Structure 1
Amino acid sequence: MTGWLSALSVYRDKRIMSITLLGFSSGAPLLLTASILQAWLTQENIDLTSIGLFTLVGLPYTLKFLWAPLIDNIRIPVLSTLFGRRRSWLLLLQMFLIAATLALAFSDPSASLLYVTIAAIAVAFASASYDIIVDAFRIEICDQKNMAAGAATFVYGYRIAMWLTGFSSLVIAEYFGWMISYMVMAAFILIGTVTVLFTREPKVQPAKPESAEEPSANAYLHWLKTSVIDPFTDFMKKPDWLIILLFAVLYKFGDALAGAMATPFYLQTGFTLIEIAEISKVLGTVATFGGLFIGGWLLAATTMYRTLWICGLLQMLSNLMFAAQAAIGPDLAFLALTIGLENVASGMGTAVFVAYLSSLCNTAYTATQYALLTSLMAVARTVLVSPAGWLVERTGWIEFFIITTVAALPGLALLWYLSYRQPIEQQEGAA
């Protein structure tokens, strides 16, 4: 018992606190180009087709692996001498992220939607790039003893930031306007800046000696082969690999399609920003965490494919709650029920889906394959949900949410095929 209690001392490590605060600063900007921006555009009476297309500004989050090698290897002149290789990038990207957020704060959707688009893309690009360097810093600052604690507290800080920004941004916007709201969100990022200034540079040497010739074209081509091509070719050796990729795209598609227009739906139904903040952001967050717990428990209690079936069916059916909400109107009690059930189902699906994607990775390429698979899945999901606003304008809210329910069927059909094939593959492997 003493050993178990003493192990808790890892959370008193100053490095763990730094990682938690960096996780907060990394999660703070995530919703600024997603649901928060959707709420702003809806209040400015921007058409739903345009609001739906704004999901595409999140593409930098899915494509960040393309420029990650540059951030990983390039040293910033002067700043790297003063602060170190990792901290200089953290500080530079934090300043870029704050500037982009302020640019978005001073934009006017009703006057220039193009300016809003450019500012939102800048925020998403800066945020995605910041995630790259925060992940590297988190891994390098930890040792084997506190690596797991660092990962856990990073996610904890990240989730707290998403909840706080999602809730407070709507409340502030209700009383003081969207410009003040985004300015406060930009200030949240300063928490990361202060953290970096009081945290030491990781004592990790670059993998290769730096010289005027590095990185050479041959070195980059070698990196491209071993880090990108080899993981993909290894994955393509799996039976039914193409079906697996399609399943990764489509399993949560119906859920994502409904979520893409959730905030505009709440506002057009007649709910206020305060009501959305209290129910969607607070109750929804609690329900999501509950769903994550239940999904993990189900996975431990039964098989992977059986859990995927349970969660997939619940995700599909939960979309019908939105259709019912559209028919009932601005009823707060029913909204709480709708959001609660949808977030529990979505959390369950996320837990088992992440476990499924992780199980697909070869241990020789775990990090790279997982990053590339989730990037590919996210690219497709971002692109596929972009016509959501166009669909609403041509069908109506009730019909739209029925369509999102039907959109879950292709993923379940692929799940049926994979769950049918799995016993055969296991028998072949055993033989």
Structure 2
Amino acid sequence: MEQKSKRSFLQITRIMLSWKMIAMFFFGFSSGFPFYIIKDVLKLWMTESGVDLATIGLFSALGLPYTLKFVWSPLMDGYVPRFLGRRRGWILIAQIGLMMSIALIGQFDPSKSLFWIVFMALCINFFGASQDIALDAFRREYLTSDELGFGTGVWMNAWRLGMYVSIGIALLTELNISWASIHIILALMMGIGILTTLFVPEPKVDASPPVSVKEAVIEPFVEFFKRHSAILVLLFILLYKIGDNMAGAMTIPFILKMGFSKTEYFLIVKGIGMFGLFGGVILGGSIMIRLGIARSLWVFGILQAISTALFAIMVMVDHNSMIWVDYRQVILGCIIGFEFFSTGLGQAAYATYMAIQTNKRFTATQYALLTSLMAVPGVVAASATGFMAKYLGWDVFYFFCAVIAVPGLLLLFKIAPWNASNEELETTH
């Protein structure tokens, strides 16, 4: 298979500075913004209101709509709203639902009206998950395969910005602003996404939407599993980042066990690490325009494995040596920075590959299914990492996490050969 001619610097720049990327930024922000309103902001509010800690902990279960969003995604593929179109119509419905739910939840008192807090929190997560279904489908259909990598990188960073902004607005309580007013401010922030929805065009898709329940619910599965490499694609989605996820699950205990303080952890991981992650997803998207998705998956996957192995090497360094004593913070900062950077690269390529594996007739349903599957290794495999680190030791544990990335890379020989073009990966289904 011949790789298409590489993009010129001017072509790459045009893609990166296009109006489409501005739309991806605002939509990514709108996607990340409501997620942490329930995950963190609500818990902060309930703690201040004196709600029992056990009750606060149970609120984590309210995130289920994000895990189960594939259940109602066929409706969003099959039914086309009469205004704005199939994608923008559903996006707007979800955004209006979010704006109303966020504003309303702030009008209740967690210490007195817990039932209504639970109900409104479920509404926020339902509309947030629904917005994500429609937005993911929009991104897949709105961007070309050449634009998708960088657009995904912009989206991911804007998603995290939305998260930080929602938490930052909650801190306005320090200025004696009431929680009711804060939730009004939070609700108004959804106006950014609503305006973007009204101004961007509906994606043009040649395939017609499903017209029956059978076509909307059954056909996405049938179409996917009829493909020649369907099982290999699913295995790849499960395995490509499994080592990276397992290693990441033990970052906090590892750093503290290595003798670093909580302050050092915060400054190095949340500071250097987050900048590395942001840089990784943006640079990863930029590189994908030049290299293509297939080659990027190879390069970024290898870098992920190397970055994980560096933690094992750090364990093997003599911690009584002058180099470690004098430069341990620098050593940790470099390794963390490279690890988060590699993770960001891998995330950009991984999400882009999943997007192009969807059939545009069933984008919402198939993408929701693949992203739900993507979360499995982070939950199942990561749950055993504590036992592994305890009984294997940190050095063997991190070498294992590096080696377990190999099966995912080997699958690339079949599903994304080195010279495969973006178009060839997209047309394999």
Give the TM-score category using the shorter length. Answer: 0.5 to 0.7
Supply the distance in 2 between the matched residues of 1:18 and 1:5 (Cα, whole angstroms). 21
Supply the distance in 2 between the matched residues of 1:25 and 1:74 (Cα, whole angstroms). 23
Supply the distance in 2 between the matched residues of 1:3 and 1:360 (Cα, whole angstroms). 22
Supply the distance in 2 between the matched residues of 1:128 and 1:200 (Cα, whole angstroms). 22
Structure 2: which amino acid aligns with 1:69? P
* Residue number in structure 2 paired with 1:114: 115
Q: Of 247, 253, 275, which residue of structure 2 is paired with 1:289?
A: 275
Is residue 2:26 matched to residue 1:21? yes
Structure 2: which amino acid aligns with 1:222? E
Supply the distance in 1 between the matched residues of 2:147 and 2:409 (Cα, whole angstroms). 36
Structure 1: any 5+ residue segments left out of the alignment? 259-268, 270-278, 316-339, 385-403
* Residue number in structure 1 paired with 2:290: none
Supply the distance in 1 between the matched residues of 2:151 and 2:110 (Cα, whole angstroms). 39
Q: Is the 8 A contact 2:34 2:128 kept in 1?
A: yes
* Residue number in structure 1 paired with 2:220: 223
* Residue number in structure 2 paired with 1:169: 170
Q: Is the 8 A contact 1:358 1:370 kept in 2?
A: no
* Residue number in structure 2 paired with 1:201: 202
Supply the distance in 2 between the matched residues of 1:232 and 1:409 (Cα, whole angstroms). 37
| Structure 1 pair 242–8 and aligned structure 2 pair: CA distance change class (3 A) | closer
Q: Is the 8 A contact 2:152 2:348 kept in 1?
A: no
Structure 2: which amino acid aligns with 1:98? M
Supply the distance in 2 between the matched residues of 1:242 and 1:139 (Cα, whole angstroms). 21
- The alpha carbon displacement at 1:91 in A equals 1.2
- The alpha carbon displacement at 1:98 in A equals 0.8
Q: Is the 8 A contact 2:138 2:203 kept in 1?
A: yes
Q: Provide Cα deviations, 1:244-272, integer angstroms capped at 9, x if missing partner.
A: 998787554456999xxxxxxxxxx9xxx
The residue correspondences of 1:357-396 to structure 2 (distance < 5 A) are 370-377=370-377
* Residue number in structure 2 paired with 1:30: 35
- The alpha carbon displacement at 1:420 in A equals 6.1
For 2:144, what is the secondary structure of its paired residue? coil
| Structure 1 pair 409–32 and aligned structure 2 pair: CA distance change class (3 A) | farther
Is residue 2:56 matched to residue 1:59? no
The residue correspondences of 1:262-281 to structure 2 (distance < 5 A) are none
Is residue 2:19 matched to residue 1:10? no
Structure 2: which amino acid aligns with 1:157? A
The residue correspondences of 1:174-323 to structure 2 (distance < 5 A) are 174-208=175-209, 214-217=211-214, 220-227=217-224, 233-234=231-232, 251-254=247-250, 284=270, 287-290=273-276, 293=279, 304-310=304-310
Supply the distance in 1 between the matched residues of 2:406 and 2:195 (Cα, whole angstroms). 53
Supply the distance in 2 between the matched residues of 1:351 and 1:220 (Cα, whole angstroms). 33
Structure 2: which amino acid aligns with 1:15? K
TM-score w.r.t. structure 1 length?
0.63
Supply the distance in 2 between the matched residues of 1:54 and 1:300 (Cα, whole angstroms). 36
Q: CA RMSD in A?
A: 5.1
- Shifted more, 65-74 versus 358-367: the winner is 358-367
Structure 2: any 5+ residue segments left out of the alignment? 1-6, 255-261, 285-298, 316-332, 360-365, 414-429
* Residue number in structure 1 paired with 2:142: 141
Q: Is the 8 A contact 1:254 1:406 kept in 2?
A: no
Q: Provide Cα deviations, 1:126-182, integer angstroms capped at 9, x if missing partner.
A: 111101111212222223453334323322322222222222321256420222112
Supply the distance in 2 between the matched residues of 1:229 and 1:48 (Cα, whole angstroms). 49
| Structure 1 pair 189–229 and aligned structure 2 pair: CA distance change class (3 A) | farther
| Structure 1 pair 171–8 and aligned structure 2 pair: CA distance change class (3 A) | same
Supply the distance in 2 between the matched residues of 1:359 and 1:143 (Cα, whole angstroms). 11
For 1:152, what is the secondary structure of its paired residue? helix
| Structure 1 pair 425–375 and aligned structure 2 pair: CA distance change class (3 A) | closer
Supply the distance in 1 between the matched residues of 2:240 and 2:150 (Cα, whole angstroms). 32
Supply the distance in 2 between the matched residues of 1:190 and 1:133 (Cα, whole angstroms). 17
Structure 1: which amino acid aligns with 2:221? L
Q: Provide Cα deviations, 1:189-246, integer angstroms capped at 9, x if missing partner.
A: 01111122222222224445x6xxx2243663332344479888547879xx999998
| Structure 1 pair 377–107 and aligned structure 2 pair: CA distance change class (3 A) | farther
Supply the distance in 2 between the matched residues of 1:207 and 1:255 (Cα, whole angstroms). 46
Supply the distance in 1 between the matched residues of 2:306 and 2:313 (Cα, whole angstroms). 11
- The alpha carbon displacement at 1:83 in A equals 1.8
- The alpha carbon displacement at 1:61 in A equals 1.6
Percentage of identical aligned residues: 22
Q: Of 49, 52, 66, which residue of structure 2 is paired with 1:47?
A: 52
Structure 1: which amino acid aligns with 2:42? L
Q: Is the 8 A contact 2:25 2:158 kept in 1?
A: yes
Supply the distance in 1 between the matched residues of 2:204 and 2:252 (Cα, whole angstroms). 41
Structure 2: which amino acid aligns with 1:204? V
For 1:109, what is the secondary structure of its paired residue? coil
Supply the distance in 2 between the matched residues of 1:5 and 1:197 (Cα, whole angstroms). 30
Q: Provide Cα deviations, 1:371-415, integer angstroms capped at 9, x if missing partner.
A: 243233466699x8xxxxxxxxxxxxxxxxxxx977965897776
Q: Is the 8 A contact 1:294 1:348 kept in 2?
A: yes
- The alpha carbon displacement at 1:364 in A equals 6.3
* Residue number in structure 2 paired with 1:73: 78
- The alpha carbon displacement at 1:53 in A equals 2.1
Supply the distance in 1 between the matched residues of 2:336 and 2:187 (Cα, whole angstroms). 27
Q: Is the 8 A contact 1:62 1:378 kept in 2?
A: no
